[in-house]
Amino acid sequence: MAHCLGPTGLALLRLPLHPLMATLPEEELERALEAEMVLGVCRLGVDFGRALAHDHYGKMLQFVPGLGPRKSARLLRDVLQQSATKSAPANRDELRAYLGPSVWFNAVGFLKFLPPDVPGGLQHAPGLEGSRVHPEAYRFARKMCFDAMQARGRTPALTPTLTPTLTPTCTPTLTPTLTPTLTPALTPSPMMTLTLTPPRPSLWPGAGGR
């Protein structure tokens, strides 16, 4: 795709991407293709050193968020002009001299500074400058790496051994419970004696004398 963006490359609207492209309005198609290019650049990033060395690859800078065609062309022009007297920027922080604060903040996370390729030599890791981590978040990335190394140094590499644990099985024992039965005691009642007493003679005069 970078080769198509060079001075001698094809325009985006001339790329044979789909047989029905001609049926779409050119303005909408151009906006859709530019949006897709921006997403691709955000996903992969742009190697700034390669953009300085190769003109066709440098055209990818216009799709970096915050730059656009004019700012990206001016950035390349200023860096190439000053590289004759001093070295080119070696990291993201040195781009502050070429970009405004807001433009630098928006664009620098998608510009990568990779170590130079050594033919037949050992390729070094890109580090944070070659990642998509924003410079404002470098301290958090370093803190995470430091904590991970500290935790790895404190924890020995032990192979876990599974030891079976025997759990005794309790069988319940039924113990009969004796419940005393209360039998009421029968207390003999005293017998009642009926005594018949004859009537006494009346003392009133005239009673029973006739």
The model's pLDDT over 111-156, given as tens digits with 9 standing for 90+, comes to 999 877 666 655 666 788 888 888 888 888 888 888 888 877 665 5
> In degrees to the nearest 10, what's the CA dihedral of 48, 52, 53, 57?
70
pLDDT at 165: 55
Tokens at 127, concatenated: 């580090």
The dihedral sign for the CA sequence 129, 131, 136, 140: negative
Residue 50's CB: how many other CB atoms inside 10 A?
14
Query: Mean pLDDT throughout 12-24?
Result: 77
Average pLDDT of the chain? Answer: 74
Topology adopted by domain 3-114+126-154: DNA polymerase; domain 1 (1.10.150)
Q: What is the pLDDT confidence band of residue 196, given thresholds at 50, 70 and 90? A: low
**What tens digit of pLDDT does each residue of 24-47 get?**
888 888 888 888 888 988 888 999
pLDDT at 210: 43
Q: What is the pLDDT confidence band of residue 58, given thresholds at 50, 70 and 90? A: confident
Residues 6+ apart with CB under 8 A from 128: 135, 138, 141, 142
User: Under a CB-based contact definition with an 8 Å cutoff, are residues 126 and 48 in contact?
Assistant: no
CA 159 – CA 161 distance, rounded (Å):
6
Domain boundaries, the chain: 3-114+126-154
Radius of gyration of the chain measured on its C-alpha atoms: 52
CA 30 – CA 166 distance, rounded (Å):
73
Residue 101's CB: how many other CB atoms inside 10 A?
8
Of 179 and 131, the structure prediction assigns the larger pLDDT to: 131
Query: For residue 51, is pLDDT > 70?
Result: yes
Task: Identify the helix (H) or strand (E) that includes residue 47.
Answer: strand 46-47
pTM check: above 0.75: no
pLDDT at 30: 81
Query: For residue 100, is pLDDT > 80?
Result: yes
